[in-house]
Every structure is written in structure tokens, then in C-alpha cells.
Amino acid sequence: MVTTGRPRVGILALQGDVREHARMLTELGADVLSVRRPADLDGVDGLVIPGGESSVIDKLARAFGVREPIRDAIAAGMPAYGTCAGLILLADRITDGIQGQLTFGGLDVTVRRNAFGTQSDSFETDLDVPALGGPPVHAVFIRAPLVEHAGAGVEVMATLPDGRIVAVRQGALLGTAFHPEVTGEHRFHRLFLDMVVAARGTARVA
């Protein structure tokens, strides 16, 4: 049976740049819901994990009881998109995490937190992303992570000029080390919504 209606996308709203993601997803035709507790996942077709502080989001996810439900939903095939801290939380492995830090997992990657330094080391650059087509993506890196290793089943979508990996996709999971929502770059969110729509069997979002 084909599901009808707009895709319902949850945003993990424990900490981070939730509003920027919500605005972009709404403009692209999704119904957006805030996810803070396990019941908030009911009826959600996909989940965005925003930038912020990965260790704080991890602690809050455990405190609010959503870590295991999110982990289970991702393992069961729910599409998810993580930006910056969200990429860290989708990674199966992290280096330089704080003691006891956990992730939701799903992406067969190893990610290094704060790989580029402190807030003052934030930077912007243009990236070629062939899978998206069109002009280069103007990317903003804010205390950004870096994918140090990607498994055989992971598609590397974008790298810095020196070859360091900053965007990946694996099945229904998408991760970027930068913040497309900050610059108004909509193509990654559009791709994610297409992934959500494909997973639920509806027609493409207009």
C-alpha cells in the first residue's frame, strides 16, 4: 500500500541548530516535528540530527530515553541525516570522544571530533559534489569533524582539496561535516527528503 501525504521528518531537538533545519525542511515540503522523547518518533519517516555538541546531545539523548529508540530505528532502516555533530552521532566509530561517549551508529565510518581545531578555526570553502549536480556547494565548517575512514559500502560524496572526507552516504543515511542549513544550501536536504520519500514509497516531493 502506498503512503500518501507530505513526508514527516523529525529533528532531534535536544541541542543545536534545530530551527535552521526546520525552516529549510518546511520550505522543501516536509512536515517537521521536534523529537525529544521516544513517543515523538511515532510516525516519523526520517530524522535529522543537527549540529551542536555531540557529547552533550549524547548525554541528553540518554537522559530523555531516546538513545536506544533512535539507534533501533536507524538499524531498522529509518533514514537519517546528520550535520557536524550529527555526523559524529551517526558514525559507528569516533576518535577523541570524551570518556564514555556513545553514538547512535549506522554509518560505517570513523570520525574525529573537532578535527579542524576550535571555534576560531572555523572556515568556509566551496566543494564539488558530483552527486548533487549544479554549482559547487559553499560549505561552512564550525568546529567540524572529519571522516578519517569510510567502509567499503560508504559513498564518499565530497572531499576537501587535500582528499579529506567531509560528506558521506550509506543506504538511508547521510552525513556532512559542514552546515548546509547555515548558508541556505538546500540540495543536501532535498537529497535527504528524496531518500525519505523512497523509503516510504511515495511520489517525489514537489
- Known catalytic residues are 84, 179, 181
Quick one: three-class SS letters along the chain?
A: CCCCCCCEEEEECCCCCHHHHHHHHHHCCCEEEEECCHHHHCCCCEEEECCCCHHHHHHHHHHCCCHHHHHHHHHCCCCEEEECHHHHHHEEEEECCCCCCCCCCCEEEEEECCCCCCHHHCEEEEECCHHHCCCCEEEEECCCCEEEEECCCCEEEEECCCCCEEEEEECCEEEECCCHHHHCCCHHHHHHHHHHHHHHCCCCCC
